Amino acid sequence: MRSLRSGFSLGSAVVGVAATLGALLAAAPGAHAADVPLRELADAKGKVIGTAAGGSHLTGARGEITGREFNWLTPENAMKWEAVEPSRGTYNWAEADRIVDFAQANGQQVRGHTLVWHSQNPSWLTGGSFTPAELRTILQNHISTEMTRYKGKVAAWDVVNEAFNEDGTYRQSLWYTGLGTDYIADALTWARAADPGAKLYINDYNVEGVNAKSTALYNLVKSLKERGVPIDGVGLQAHLILGQVPSTLQQNIQRFADLGVDVAITELDIRMQLPATQAKLAQQAAEYKAVMNACLAVTRCTGVTVWGFNDADSWVPDVFDGYGAATPYDENLAPKPAYHAIAESLGGTGQPGPGPGDGCKATYSVVNQWNSGFTGQVRIDCTGTALASWKANWTFAAGQRISQAWNADCTQSGTAVSCSNLSYNGTVPTGGSVTFGFNGTWSGSNPVPAVTLG
């Protein structure tokens, strides 16, 4: 294969012919989003369907899908301590504000994440030497400052995150070792004072089924309720592995609900060992549906948030070597079987509807031609939903060869050509277009090929 990239520009009148073809982003049936967005299906059932996102994910096709499909939005990292208070008393709200503003513009609720955690804390905090009284003041000030800023704009908060070890003992965090077990009750009490209207949660992982860790969490919540400490809900993160969805999930949700608190699936993804296969994707879809059904079966389960909706932005491959494909959309922002399973669980048909790039078309032109060479051009126009990235593919029928390309990264193997966007021209908004060109050689004839977008 040859990789061809150049910065030259086109410059000749069109002297050839053009071929216009509809975009084919996915050939398989059911490759696009369902006709009814997930959020409308969830709203009809009074449930949450959310996603986690960074501020950079809220533009182009990613932003369009986030706004269209989800009724709740969780800042992935933007509200964590190291992001908002990198230096003591100095705050950076830019990304968190951007996410909250996006949610408000799209009629979404925000889930704040997270106020008290052992991880992603700034070095001034983790490396400091504080008395218990000083540490209490620092924690109370942080909770009060952040929650007050977003008072009335954040519907629920993961106040305390990941307080337990796998065996049900308390995690030896900065907060536990410095303040004892009552740091949890204090944090919840300070949170209620900062924003009485926000729902307050304790959030953890590996607590989806009935086990030692979830039982410790259960006993804590029971004790907090008995003591009159404000606690509204429990978050089950649900970072799951294919084939290992707990059989006691619904039972576990129900026992927390029976304590008089809400339960939310807060960070759902189901990772698999790569490569993904059709069989694995089908199993993953069934397991997403099982998690959704378990939540739907319990009245006090508020709903499900996926931890990033697409595989390109998923945290999984960076953390779990050899694993990935964990979310409902693939790396090209096309819905996977898991997406349609979620739709079916929420009462939809799961049938395909418009997806990113539907309504886009590719036009191939020969704009200049001489004895043994030619200049070609492909223009991509989108009248439907936007593209966040693109790839144009075609096969030459008469032995033509590309020698140089611009505004695209083009490769040719035999007669097959594939050209993809560069870093600066991947986004094609609704009503917009992008053009790339190339020089090539021909002999005998130079017929126009059929182009598909993929």
Q: Are 415 and 430 in contact (CB under 8 A)?
A: no
- Alpha-carbon span 171 to 163, nearest angstrom: 6
Q: Can you spell out the DSSP letters for 154-176?
A: -SEEEEEE--B-TTSSBP--HHH
Q: Which residues contact 250 (CB under 8 A, 6 or more apart)?
A: 293, 294, 297, 298
Between 278-296 and 337-345, two packed helices, what is the crossing angle to 10 degrees? Answer: 20
Q: Catalytic: 331?
A: no
Beta strands of 389-442 (E only): which ranges?
Answer: 391-395, 401-406, 409-413, 416-420, 433-441
- Token pair listed for 226: 């008995």
> Closest Cα partner for 347 from 311, 390, 296, 386?
296
In angstroms, rounded to a whole number, what is the distance separating the alpha carbons of residues 305 and 55?
17
**If phi over 0 gives left and psi between -120 and 50 gives alpha, with beta otherwise, what is residue 7?**
alpha
Q: Are 34 and 352 in contact (CB under 8 A)?
A: yes
Q: Which two tokens stand for residue 424?
A: 């600066």
Strands (E), 54-184: 72-75, 109-116, 156-161
Block residue for tokens 């002999």: 443
Q: Write out the two tokens for 69.
A: 């499909």
CB 210 within 8 A of CB 248: yes
Q: Which of 85, 208, 267, 344 is catalytic?
A: 267
Amino acid code (one letter) for 153: K
Q: Please, which residues have CB within 8 angstroms of residue 243's CB and are 6 or more apart in sequence?
A: 283, 287
Active site residues: 267
